[in-house]
């Protein structure tokens, strides 16, 4: 019989219970025991939901209090020495210090580096290996989670990051490479597997997403070596998962692994099924990743069932599992919570809970016959046809404008050098100009007032007056701190993507469609269901008002087309490039109107530019082509004197530096603080022609950096960059921080800039 399974489930709970519990705990408003109880409640709810729906093979250990990669580091004792851990169990204080940094009771340590999980908007904490790295079991989490599930009557399958992918996700700080640590890691990994086996587990899931990436010869050999060692040392059955793409040239490696089951992504890698079937060993179970774990569109049950029938006909039902393409971590919890969404659009959607139903329908249809799921097949087909023919999707004016815009003639007409000189005269900024990257603290008062307005309890005039008052206070604050270029604070914005989506046609929104980004940080991605159109100005009034309050330059703040695309659930009935270009045309109208109304600087944020890069090199040039076009299209027609900024965060720039140059922005700001300016290595050999703001402190941590630390970081940056190129700014927006720490941190930042100006010859 074919069996159903999944790879992981959302962790926050249906109403973000974990987020609330974490933030209370961090504020010392609750105990660790209370936090752990909330975690236990969320895990129990998730397990019971899967059992009741009828999932056959249920995972355990997919829950985390912050990040599953950080959990693996805590599990194996991979704790950098700066955190003062002395061995034994990794306690909550050490765990959260690695995640968020710590600055209390005489302890002052920054957070560990954080970056994107493959090509998703989820962030993980980068493992950091030191010279003589010792691995030891420093947590019992996988065993505890397995026993917890068994106590609830579920014989679950523990989930781990596979040993090779775990190492490849990390960095070696002492000149070696992460794979140097494979042998000692495997000793402890096998020790853990034996503990799970002794506890009663018969299967373990090892997530190895690097198998869908380009691998060098050493990494390819590491997979074979690792799983040969595991097979020789334990009898537990191994299920390897390969989400996010196609095995391609790693197909033979995967098929030769001495494992009992292999998962393949048949959503991102739909075309690989025949090759997989031809290479599949007769002893191996195939887990078919048919249900999309990355998007929210309702599954095409007929198409998935046909794929199942084909595979079962070839290898038999006992060797087939039905699975999602990846963990459901990347989609919202439950569509049933969306009570006010447009009914037609709602019928096209499926969230994590509904995707469980799709898995079970497919299992029933293949095991018991199509006639047992006739109603489900009909409903799926009707939803697909409704979406295909809906009048909501197409805007004639957008299609006409797309046809009229030649994409090979977009961008600024004048060279960056000519523009730089005109901008220098227009802006009159000092050496090492200081600024921030958009948002300021979203206090309880701000959030409550915005909620009152959205719920109809506050009149438009009263809300506008409140926002103007917040902008005024923010401008006064920035001038008092001494910043050179100001922003309006974004108090009217709930989220940097959702805010714009609400003002554009073609977007739909959820009430409870939260998805974890990192830690307790959740986002509510818009749904792009149709053609994108800007019916009216979006930011002009607030930006113009803010500029009227100061003689200093005020930045207009926009989210870029690639980031709006990446951080939304995107329609799949046209190429992603077409949707990106539609968004870019809407933003172009906004940029030109900001300029026309006196804004001399416009920031078009693209923090997701690197995130959108395909995992395989052979697919990357096509992405760069349309993504760069989209950004340049957004600034087409802008005058030379107007300075265009962009912002990118948590990126490895080595592979994309040429594309960043091609964006032709005048100034880019990048995250570098968590990596101690290491990410600027990309600029050592590539002489970037524009100006750069390397983020000097980590806004995702409550820690306030001292002035000398900021000076030291900028001096490191001066090894790679001309001082005249450098701006000084935090590494991201400040909406999640508190005002006292923001004032102190920015004061240190401005003082550091003044120290640097004195040192480099300009006061």
Active site residues: 700
Q: Running DSSP on this structure, what letter comes out for residue 209?
A: G
- Give, in order, the Cα–Cα distances in Å from 422 to each of 130, 414, 426, 486, 666: 48, 11, 6, 20, 12
Question: Which residue from 204, 190, 243, 250 is spatially nearest to 223, judged by alpha carbons?
Answer: 250
Compute the Cα dihedral for 694, 699, 702, 707 and give only its sign. Answer: positive
Residue 164 tokens, joined: 């090779």
Give yes or no for a contact between 645 and 668, defined as CB atoms under 8 angstroms apart: yes
Q: Burial letters for 706-725: b for 16+ Cβ neighbours within 10 Å, e otherwise?
A: ebebbbbbbebbbebbebeb
Q: Which three-class secondary structure string do you get for 100-149?
A: HCEEECCEEECCCCEEECCCCCCEEECCEECCCCCCCCCCCHHHHHHHHH
Residue 610 tokens, joined: 């690197």
On the CB side of 244, CA atoms within 13 Å amount to: 23
CB-based burial label for 763 (10 Å; 0-12, 13-18, 19+): exposed
Distance in angstroms (rounded) separating the CA atoms of residues 4 and 659: 42
CB-based burial label for 353 (10 Å; 0-12, 13-18, 19+): buried
Compute the Cα dihedral for 599, 605, 10, 142 and give only its sign. Answer: negative
Angle at the Cα of 168 from the Cα atoms of 95 and 213, rounded to 5 degrees? 130
Rounded to the nearest angstrom, the gap between the alpha carbon of residue 66 and the centroid of all alpha carbons in its chain is: 14
What is the Cα Rg of the chain in Å?
26
Spatial CB neighbours of 459, under 8 Å, sequence gap ≥ 6: none
Question: Which residue from 710, 704, 716 is spatially nearest to 728, judged by alpha carbons?
Answer: 710
On the CB side of 745, CA atoms within 13 Å amount to: 26
Question: Which residue from 242, 363, 237 is spatially nearest to 312, judged by alpha carbons?
Answer: 363
On the CB side of 209, CA atoms within 13 Å amount to: 19
Q: Are strands 114-116 and 123-125 parallel, antiparallel or unpaired?
A: antiparallel
- Give, in order, the Cα–Cα distances in Å from 505 to each of 379, 395, 512, 558, 578: 27, 9, 21, 17, 15
């Amino acid at each position: 019989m074919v069996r159903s399974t999944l790879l992981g489930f959302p962790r926050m709970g249906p109403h973000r219970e974990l987020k609330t519990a974490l933030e209370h705990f961090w504020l010392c408003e609750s105990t660790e025991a209370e936090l752990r109880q909330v975690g236990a409640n969320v895990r129990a709810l998730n397990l019971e939901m899967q059992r009741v729906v009828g999932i056959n093979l249920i995972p355990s250990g997919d829950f985390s209090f912050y990040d599953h990669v950080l959990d693996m580091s805590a599990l194996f004792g991979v704790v950098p020495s700066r955190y003062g851990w002395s061995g034994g169990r990794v306690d909550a204080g050490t765990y959260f210090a690695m995640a968020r940094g710590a600055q209390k009771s005489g302890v002052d340590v920054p957070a560990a580096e954080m970056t994107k999980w493959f090509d998703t908007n989820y962030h993980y904490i980068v493992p950091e290996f030191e010279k003589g790295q010792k691995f030891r079991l420093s947590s019992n989490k996988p065993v505890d989670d397995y026993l917890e599930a068994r106590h609830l009557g579920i014989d679950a399958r523990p989930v781990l990051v596979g040993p090779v992918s775990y190492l490849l996700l990390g960095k070696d700080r002492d000149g070696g490479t992460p794979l140097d640590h494979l042998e000692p890691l495997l000793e402890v990994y096998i020790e853990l597997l034996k503990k799970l086996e002794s506890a009663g587990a018969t299967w373990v899931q090892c997530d190895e997403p690097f198998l869908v990436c380009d691998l060098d010869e050493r990494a390819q050999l590491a997979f074979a070596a690792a799983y040969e060692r595991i097979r020789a040392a334990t009898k537990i059955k191994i299920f390897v998962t390969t989400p996010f793409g196609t095995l391609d040239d790693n197909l033979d490696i995967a098929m030769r692994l001495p494992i009992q089951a292999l998962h393949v992504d048949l959503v991102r890698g739909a075309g690989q099924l025949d090759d997989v079937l031809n290479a599949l060993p007769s002893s191996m179970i195939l887990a078919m990743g048919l249900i999309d774990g990355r998007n929210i569109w309702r599954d095409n049950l007929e198409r998935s069932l046909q794929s199942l029938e084909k595979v079962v006909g070839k290898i038999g039902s006992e060797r087939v599992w039905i699975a999602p393409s990846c963990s459901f971590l990347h989609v919202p919890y439950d569509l049933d919570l969306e009570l006010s969404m447009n009914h037609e659009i709602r019928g096209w959607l499926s969230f994590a809970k509904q995707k469980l139903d799709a898995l079970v329908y497919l299992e029933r249809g293949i095991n018991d016959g199509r006639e047992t799921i006739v109603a489900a097949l009909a409903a799926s087909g009707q939803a697909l046809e409704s979406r295909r023919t809906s009048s909501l999707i197409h805007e004639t004016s957008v299609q006409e404008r797309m046809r009229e815009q030649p994409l090979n003639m977009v961008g600024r007409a004048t060279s960056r050098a000519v523009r730089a000189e005109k901008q220098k005269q227009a802006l009159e900024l000092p050496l090492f100009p200081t600024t921030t990257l958009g948002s300021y603290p979203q206090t309880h008062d701000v959030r409550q007032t915005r909620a009152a307005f959205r719920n109809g309890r506050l009149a438009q005039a009263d809300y506008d007056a409140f926002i103007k008052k917040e902008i005024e206070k923010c401008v006064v604050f920035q001038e008092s701190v001494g910043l050179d270029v100001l922003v309006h604070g974004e108090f009217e914005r709930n989220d940097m993507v959702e805010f714009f989506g609400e003002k554009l046609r073609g977007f739909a929104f959820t009430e409870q469609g939260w998805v974890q980004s990192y830690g307790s940080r959740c986002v509510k991605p818009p749904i792009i269901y149709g053609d994108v159109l800007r019916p009216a100005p979006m930011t002009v009034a607030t930006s113009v008002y803010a500029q009227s309050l100061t003689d200093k330059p005020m930045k207009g703040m926009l989210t870029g087309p690639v980031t709006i695309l990446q951080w939304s659930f995107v329609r799949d009935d046209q190429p992603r490039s077409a949707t990106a270009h539609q968004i870019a045309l809407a933003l172009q109208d906004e940029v030109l109107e900001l300029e026309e109304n006196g804004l001399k600087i416009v920031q078009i944020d693209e923090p997701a530019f690197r995130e959108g890069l395909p995992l395989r090199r052979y697919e990357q040039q096509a992405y760069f082509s349309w993504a760069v076009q989209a950004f340049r299209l957004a600034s087409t027609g802008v005058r030379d004197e107007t300075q265009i900024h962009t912002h990118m965060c948590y990126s490895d720039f080595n592979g994309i530096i040429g594309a960043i140059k091609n964006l032709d922005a005048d100034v880019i700001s990048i995250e570098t603080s968590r990596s101690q300016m290491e990410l600027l290595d990309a600029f050592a050999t590539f002489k970037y022609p524009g100006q750069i703001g390397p983020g000097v402190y980590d806004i995702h941590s409550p820690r306030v950096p001292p002035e000398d630390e900021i000076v030291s970081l900028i001096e490191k940056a001066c090894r790679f960059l001309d001082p005249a190129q450098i701006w000084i700014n935090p590494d991201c927006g400040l909406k999640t921080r508190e005002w006292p720490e923001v004032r102190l941190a920015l004061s240190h930042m401005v003082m550091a800039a003044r120290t640097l100006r004195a040192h480099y010859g300009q006061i």
